[in-house]
Amino acid sequence: SQQGEEDPQALSIQEGENATMNCSYKTSINNLQWYRQNSGRGLVHLILIRSNEREKHSGRLRVTLDTSKKSSSLLITASRAADTASYFCATLKGDSWGKLQFGAGTQVVVTP
Amino acid sequence: SAVISQKPSRDICQRGTSLTIQCQVDSQVTMMFWYRQQPGQSLTLIATANQGSEATYESGFVIDKFPISRPNLTFSTLTVSNMSPEDSSIYLCSAGTENYGYTFGSGTRLTVV
């Protein structure tokens, strides 16, 4: 079964607005990663946050991690039409030999 | 980070036939993985491609159906054997290091008719 659950499943916003999506997981992790997928193509790695980190920034992306609640959030600020994509969280457990467990994903549509 | 070239990008195949998907990485990587993404779904790990030894398959996936080769640290293939329409999916390879994130190939969109 998949480790992560994401909400919302779908998100529709206007350009310039912020987009927030959440990811919950079930077991302890080594790190949590966020990926973007455009139109069913390959995934692009966005950001990785380690279990001992609480917040991380990369450009317009902000990721938080709350290990006590086993949850993470991804915030995209000042969204653009080019941000339209599916976003997946993926967790890595310490004993998983590098294997990621993916969440169900959030489909984000940004309209001009 | 590594760059992966995956091919073919798409194919339409007859049921009962096999398709081999290739992934070439531009640098040596320890870990390579193969995923399946069924329509509208998330990614499911098929197997870990091990260099010089048999792949490690996840529950629900078997070597006879999805044979994998990894002859060196930069190349791997996945074969989808004796295909049926249920095998219609996107297949993706990934490579990298667990502590820095993974690079994914651009995916192979397979349709079985």
CB of A39 less than 8 A from some CB of B: no
pLDDT for res B81: 98
Across chain B, what does the average pLDDT equal?
Answer: 94
Query: Which of the residues in chain A have pLDDT under 70?
Result: 1-4
Q: Is the pLDDT of residue B65 over 50?
A: yes
Q: What's the whole-number mean pLDDT along residues B7-18?
A: 98
pLDDT for B90-101, tens place per residue? 999 999 876 778
Question: What is the model's pLDDT at position B2?
Answer: 86
Q: A54 in contact with B at a CB cutoff of 8 Å?
A: no
pLDDT digits (tens, 9 = 90+) for B31-40: 899 999 999 8
The pLDDT value recorded for residue A3 is: 55
CB contact under 8 A, A43 and B43: yes
**Chain B residue closest to A103 (CA)?**
B42
Query: A40–B109: do the CB atoms touch at under 8 Å?
Result: yes
Distances in Å between the Cα of B44 and the Cα atoms of A1, A65, A111 are 9, 23, 30
Strands B101-104 and B43-49: unpaired
* Closest residue by Cα to residue B66 from B40, B39, B93, B95: B93
- Token pair belonging to B11: 């194919």
Give the per-residue pLDDT at A17: 98
